[in-house]
Every structure is written in structure tokens, then in C-alpha cells.
Chain A
Amino acid sequence: MADGERAAAMVRAEGVRKRFRRTEVLKGIDLEVRSGEVLCLIGPSGSGKSTLLRCVNHLERIDDGRIYVDGELIGYRERGDALHELHEREVCRQRSAIGMVFQRFNLFPHMTALENVIEAPIRVRHDAKADATERATALLARVGLTHKAHAYPSELSGGQQQRVAIARALAMRPKLMLFDEPTSALDPELVGEVLAVMRALADDGMTMIVVTHEMAFAREAGHRIAFMDDGVIVESGAPREMLSHPEHARTRAFLSRLLTHPIT
């Protein structure tokens, strides 16, 4: 691998394996996401999409392989022929540059929307409160929630909560955003507002990995789609081609199931 090529890649996964007890969930994943690229990960539930995403910011340890983000090996230090897990301090530093948005939002329920957004900048980046608040206000405006800054999560709709969660992740100025089925827990009529925010983010050039069942989003905002099944990436390619002319039978089967029983 030439150095120039690695530098252009925001995320590089090489032979990533992960097992939970006896079950191998990731069976050697090779993946590359270029800077500014939006990669949509699709596939049946249990195929390992979410686990792969959680390995990228080391929420899960991996059993083999390597993951680089912006050229830096995630979670481990290579010494001799072994990978040594990094000290928590180092892992935290790496994670703070990678934003993550969850299926169930996971906003902190005891804090207002604004407090959710300024928490990590103040406690982790040690920003001044005034600066963090100013930036958080701008981010909440960007996701269209200026008027909800002082509302608690329980007073927000699912779509609003997810938009706050996106603002919260962006507050750490991440170079990469991970989305784990960000619209799967939403009522159908609320999906659009979240996708609109994500689309705007993609247009701004954010590097994104999006685990999703939203084929319309994948087609319009995604630069590339990767199809995962049973712990491997079966194929990947440009959205239109992948969705209309999938190469592999497994991809075809998945897509036809999705068309007959669309997951909203």
C-alpha cells in the first residue's frame, strides 16, 4: 500500500475479524472510504453492519485485522508482531474525532438539547463554556432546532431527538461521522427531516458511513453502497448500478425482499 493512497483514505479496514464468544460476526472485512465520501452499508439484520461500525470507533474490540482512520491505527499500537490495545486516554482521543449517531438517539435525558451538545466539548475538549454554547447554538440552528435548545429530550419528537444527536456529534468537530440506522426507530413521517440534515452534511463534504435501510437516501446521497451479508462485504459499487444491477445473487435476493417488504 503506497503512502499517498492511504492518506487519501479516511477509513481503511484490512481483514477485520470480530467474534462474540463462538459466533464470528465479521469474517475478514476489507473496506476503504475516501475523504468526503458517503458510504452506505446495507444488508440483512445480523449481517454485521452495526458491529463493523462500532469497531471503527473501537466501541468493540477486534480480534484480527486493522482499522485506520485518517491514517491512524484505531484502538491498538503495533509493536513487533502483536497489536497492543491503546491506553484509554488514547482511545478517547481517537473517538473524539469520530462522530456517532445511534438508532435509538441516546440523548442524555437529564440534560436539555443545548446541554447535550455542549457536554463533550466542555468536558472532553475543555472548550470554554461560552465558546461551546455559541457553537452549539449554531449547530442547533443548522439542524433547525433553535427553538428547542432548552427542551429536554423527553419533550422532543424522535426526529427532533435524532437531529439533536447529530448536532451533539458534530460539536466535537469530527472528521468522520458514523450513522447506525439513524432512521429505523422513527415514525415514517419523521424520517425525512433527519435524512435532510444528513444530506446537507454530505453536501458539505463530511465523510460518512451510514448503516441504513433507506434505499432512496442511499441512491441520492450515497456515493457508494456496500452490501454486507453474514459477516462479509459481498459487493460494493455506485448506488444506481448496485441497486438496479446487483452482481451477486445474495444482493439481488436482499434487494428484492426489500422491494416487496420495504423497511421504512
Chain B
Amino acid sequence: MSSREVTTRVVPLPRPGLWIGSAIVVVLAALIAVSVFRNPNIQHGVIAQYQFAPAILRGLELTVVLALLAAGIGLVLGVMLAVMRISASPILRVAGAAYTWLIRGTPLLVQILIWGNLALLFEYIGPFRTNDVLTPFVASVIALGLNEGAYMAEIVRAGILAVDRGQVDAALALGMSRRLALRRIILPQALRVIVPPAGNQFISLLKATSLVSVIAGGDLLTAAQNIASSNLHTIELMLVATFWYLVLTTITSVAQHFAERRLARGHLGLHGGR
């Protein structure tokens, strides 16, 4: 069948709502931009002055280190708790659930304050003075890591449960131990389900590091607040911090995107396989 000589014009259904909505969004965005950038009360020179200030960069570095350490602890703890929660032992299952219940049921800010002030409860940890061991940094890492673990446990557990039962059968039938099957067969498949929520979780964690400023954790927000309290340019320094938080979360989002693409290996789906 050859194409016909006379082609009828195809006219899509007009959708004025789309245009009106878009116009409103553009106008609002413009208003916000103008109110921030043309605001006489914001001294842009101060922002420029502190954006790359050594104190700010030290805080930024600490925030990154803090987030990475807490994420590492959270991941290991999360896998352990997830395995506990699907284990054959009722005691392990209940213990895992209780941990999640306790951590998720209390504000992170409270947990950070408790770890930061643990010396009030125990003056000594073993032979060491609590305040010598539990520096604000160590307390921050512990508080964030333990908190992260509870959330990661739920994410990892959902990932493991998403893997088909037949995969375990196949691995065991080949003579693999449970441990080996978990490491080589189950977790790699669970990872595909784990990475998207884990990426979200890491972004939350990056921002949650700012809470350690309450125990003088030395993070990015602490650094910005310290400067602001001496020069009183609070908004400017918050904008300096905002910029860096956005940089970090953007990098994370990009990394997450590539991780998801790589894990889609063997799966024809939304990402179109490899």
C-alpha cells in the first residue's frame, strides 16, 4: 500500500490548561528570583566572600565525611538487621524489629543530643573518660550511623523480599551455602530494588548532618552559624550553606542515576536494559 497523495492535517486537541499552568509557574519563578537577587537586604558581596572561605570548606569536608561514615555504618547495620528480621529465630526477628521501632520512633535530634551528652550518663567508658572518646564528631557519627541503620534495614529487607524464592532454591541446589547465596545471588538482585530508596535515604542523611550543629559537630551548618553569629549576616551564610547542600545532593542524584542504570543489567524495563 503506497502513501496517499493528499495528507489530511493532524490537529491535536488544544489543551489551554497546560499553557495557563506553565505561565503561572514562570511568573512565580521570576518573582522569587527577583525578590532574592534584587533584594537590598541581601549583601551578595558577603555570599561571594564566604562561599569558598576556608572555615566553610572545612565544614563542608566534615559534612561529607560524616555522611559517608554514617552511610557506611548504616549500610552494614541495615544488612545485619534485615537478615535478623527474616531469620528463623524469633528472638533475632523481635530484636531487629525493636531496634527499628526505637530508632524510627524518636526524633534524630533527640538521639544526637543523647549521644552528644552521654558523659552525663556514663562518666567513663571502660577505662576511658567519656568526653575524651566521644568527641562531638564521634558522637555525631554514631548517632547518624545508628539512625541510618534502622532506615536502611527496612530498605534492605524490602529488597531481599523482592527477590524470587526460586533464586534461593537454585543457588542452594548448586551447592552454595546460604551465606554465599545471599552474597552472590540475593543481594545483587535486591540491590536493584534497594538503590532508589537508598539514594533518597542518603540525600536525607546529607541534610540530617546539619542537625549535629546542636552538639557543635563542626559540620557545614555549624561553620556557617559560627560565622553568622559574629557578623550577623545570617541569611547570606545560610545561602552559602544552601549552595553547598545543593551541590552535594545533586552529585548524589547523578550517582544514583548511574548506579540504577548499571544495576538494570539483564532487566528489560523502563531503562531499556543495558
Q: Give the segment of B109-117, B210-218, B235-243, B263-271 that binds chain A.
A: B263-271
When distances are taken between beta carbons in the complex, the residues of chain A under 8 Å from B200 are: none
Interface size class of A (residues with CB under 8 A): 20 to 34
A154 contacts B174, C-beta separation under 8 Å: no
- B192 CB to closest chain A CB (Å) equals 8
When distances are taken between beta carbons in the complex, the residues of chain B under 8 Å from A108 are: 167, 170-171, 185, 189
When distances are taken between beta carbons in the complex, the residues of chain A under 8 Å from B175 are: 92-93, 95-97, 120, 124-125, 172
When distances are taken between beta carbons in the complex, the residues of chain B under 8 Å from A99 are: 173
A89 contacts B172, C-beta separation under 8 Å: no
B166 contacts A124, C-beta separation under 8 Å: no
Is residue B164 within 8 Å, beta carbon to beta carbon, of the partner chain?
A: yes
- B171 CB to closest chain A CB (Å) equals 8
A154 contacts B170, C-beta separation under 8 Å: no
A168 contacts B174, C-beta separation under 8 Å: yes
A95 contacts B268, C-beta separation under 8 Å: no
CB under 8 Å from chain B, chain A span 128-168: 152-155, 165, 168
- A59 CB to closest chain B CB (Å) equals 6
When distances are taken between beta carbons in the complex, the residues of chain A under 8 Å from B172 are: 59, 92, 95
A154 contacts B268, C-beta separation under 8 Å: yes
Is residue A45 within 8 Å, beta carbon to beta carbon, of the partner chain?
A: no
**Number of B positions contacting A (CB below 8 A):** 25
Instruction: Name the residue on B nearest A112 (C-beta).
Output: B266
Is residue A169 within 8 Å, beta carbon to beta carbon, of the partner chain?
A: yes
> Of B169, B177, B268, which one neighbours A59 at CB under 8 angstroms?
B169
Is residue B184 within 8 Å, beta carbon to beta carbon, of the partner chain?
A: yes
Given the complex of chains A and B, what is the CA–CA distance between A216 and B239 in angstroms?
Answer: 76
> Of A106, A119, A125, A154, which one neighbours B166 at CB under 8 angstroms?
A106
Is residue B62 within 8 Å, beta carbon to beta carbon, of the partner chain?
A: no
Most buried by A among B164, B171, B175, B185: B175
Given contacts A88-B177, A100-B173, contact A109 B166 (CB under 8 A): no
When distances are taken between beta carbons in the complex, the residues of chain B under 8 Å from A172 are: 174-175
Render B237-274 as a binary contact track against A, CB cut-off 8 A, 1 for contact: 00000000000000000000000000101111000010
List 6 additional A-B contacts (Cβ < 8 Å) besides A92-B175, A108-B171: A59-B169, A93-B175, A109-B266, A110-B189, A124-B176, A165-B170
**List of 5 A-B pairs having minimum Cβ-Cβ separation, nearest first:** A96-B175, A152-B266, A106-B170, A120-B174, A100-B173
Residues of B within 8 A of A (CB): 164, 166-167, 169-178, 180, 184-185, 188-189, 192, 263, 265-268, 273
> What are 10 A-B interface contacts by the 8 Å CB criterion?
A100-B169, A100-B173, A106-B167, A106-B169, A108-B170, A108-B189, A110-B192, A110-B266, A123-B184, A172-B175
